[in-house]
Structure 1
Amino acid sequence: MNKLIIAGNGFDLAHGLPTSYNHFMDAFWRDLKENQDDDLVKEVVYLDPIFQDHFDEGEILNFKDFESNIHKYLQNNLRGFEYQLEKYSFSQRGMSRSYGKEVVLFKFKNKFFKELNETQSIQNWVYVENEYYQALKSICKDEELEARQKRERVIKLHEEFEQVKQLLEIYLKQKVVETYDFNAFSEKDHPKPFNILRRFVGKESNEEKLKLASEFSDRDDEKFMFDLDPSESKKQKVVKFNSYIVNFNYTPTFVNYCGYLLLEEKQLAHINHIHGELSEENIVFGFGDEMDEDYKLIEDMDDNEYLRYFKSFQYSQNSNYKDILRYINSEKFQVIIMGHSCGLSDRVLLNTIFEHDNCRSIKVFYYQNGEYDNYTEIVQNISRHFNDKKLMRTKIVEKTLCEPMPQIQLPKKK
Structure 2
Amino acid sequence: MNRIILIGNGFDLAHGMRTSYNDFISYYWYKIISDIKSTKERLFENSEIKITRLPRPVYFSTIIKFEELHETLERNGSELIFKNKFLEHINHKKQIQNWVDIENEYYLLLKQSFKDVNCTYKISQLNSDFTEIQKLLENYLQETENYFKENYNKNSEVLRIQSSVGNKIYSNFNFRDFTESAINKKVESEFQEIQPDLKNNYRPVPTFNETYSKRNQLINTVDKSEPHKTIRKRLLSESAINYFDLQPEEILFLNFNYTFTEDLYYNSNDFNSSIDINKNLVLSKIHIHGTTDQKDNNNVIFGFGDEIDED
| d(CA) in 1 for partners of 2:110, 2:156 | 49
Aligned to 1:128: 102
Q: SS at the partner of 1:17?
A: coil
The correspondence of residues 204-215 of structure 1 with structure 2, limited to 5 A, is: 204=172, 211-215=174-178
1:169 is aligned, of 127, 132, 138, to: 138
Q: SS at the partner of 2:129?
A: helix
Give the partner amino acid of 1:198: N
| d(CA) in 2 for partners of 1:258, 1:128 | 30
| d(CA) in 2 for partners of 1:224, 1:45 | 65
Structure 1-normalised TM-score? 0.50
Q: SS at the partner of 1:160?
A: helix
Aligned to 1:194: 163
Give the partner amino acid of 2:282: L
1:233 is aligned, of 203, 208, 213, to: 213
Aligned to 1:137: 111
Contact kept in structure 2, 1:247 and 1:271, CA below 8 Å: yes
* 233 and 217 in structure 1: CA distance in 2 versus 1, 3 angstrom threshold: closer
* 69 and 13 in structure 1: CA distance in 2 versus 1, 3 angstrom threshold: same
| d(CA) in 1 for partners of 2:189, 2:64 | 50
Aligned to 1:59: 62
* 250 and 259 in structure 1: CA distance in 2 versus 1, 3 angstrom threshold: farther
| TM-superposed deviation, 1:68 | 1.9
| d(CA) in 1 for partners of 2:291, 2:188 | 33
- The question of 1:68 aligning with 2:71 is answered yes
Aligned to 2:264: 256
Contact kept in structure 2, 1:54 and 1:69, CA below 8 Å: no
The correspondence of residues 243-322 of structure 1 with structure 2, limited to 5 A, is: 243-259=251-267, 261=269, 265=275, 266=277, 267-276=281-290, 284-286=303-305, 305-306=309-310
Aligned to 2:81: 107
| d(CA) in 1 for partners of 2:252, 2:75 | 54
| TM-superposed deviation, 1:177 | 2.7
Give the partner amino acid of 2:135: Q
Q: SS at the partner of 2:284?
A: strand
* 305 and 29 in structure 1: CA distance in 2 versus 1, 3 angstrom threshold: same
- The question of 1:179 aligning with 2:147 is answered yes
Structure number with larger C-alpha Rg:
2
The correspondence of residues 80-119 of structure 1 with structure 2, limited to 5 A, is: 89=78, 105-119=79-93
* 35 and 232 in structure 1: CA distance in 2 versus 1, 3 angstrom threshold: farther
| d(CA) in 1 for partners of 2:155, 2:145 | 21
Q: SS at the partner of 1:237?
A: coil
Specify which structure has the bigger relative contact order, considering alpha-carbon pairs within 8 angstroms and separated by 6 or more residues.
1
Aligned to 1:325: none
| d(CA) in 2 for partners of 1:286, 1:225 | 41
2:184 is aligned, of 214, 220, 225, to: 220
| d(CA) in 1 for partners of 2:113, 2:290 | 29
The correspondence of residues 27-42 of structure 1 with structure 2, limited to 5 A, is: 27-35=27-35, 42=46
For residues 205-232 of structure 1, the C-alpha deviation after alignment (integer angstroms, 9 at most, x for no partner) is: xxxx5x4323424342444897998634
Contact kept in structure 1, 2:24 and 2:140, CA below 8 Å: yes
Give the partner amino acid of 1:65: E
The correspondence of residues 3-18 of structure 1 with structure 2, limited to 5 A, is: 3-18=3-18
| TM-superposed deviation, 1:182 | 5.0
Give the partner amino acid of 1:117: N
| Corresponding residue pairs, total | 244
- The question of 1:157 aligning with 2:126 is answered yes
Give the partner amino acid of 1:237: F
Give the partner amino acid of 2:123: V
* 54 and 142 in structure 1: CA distance in 2 versus 1, 3 angstrom threshold: farther
Q: SS at the partner of 1:245?
A: strand
Q: SS at the partner of 2:16?
A: coil
Q: SS at the partner of 2:265?
A: helix
Q: SS at the partner of 1:231?
A: helix
| TM-superposed deviation, 1:173 | 2.3
| d(CA) in 2 for partners of 1:70, 1:135 | 28
| TM-superposed deviation, 1:71 | 2.4
The correspondence of residues 324-363 of structure 1 with structure 2, limited to 5 A, is: none
Identical-residue share of aligned pairs (%)? 24
Unpaired stretches in structure 2, ≥5 consecutive residues: 40-44, 195-208, 216-242, 295-300
For residues 6-32 of structure 1, the C-alpha deviation after alignment (integer angstroms, 9 at most, x for no partner) is: 101111111111111111100111110
Contact kept in structure 2, 1:57 and 1:73, CA below 8 Å: no
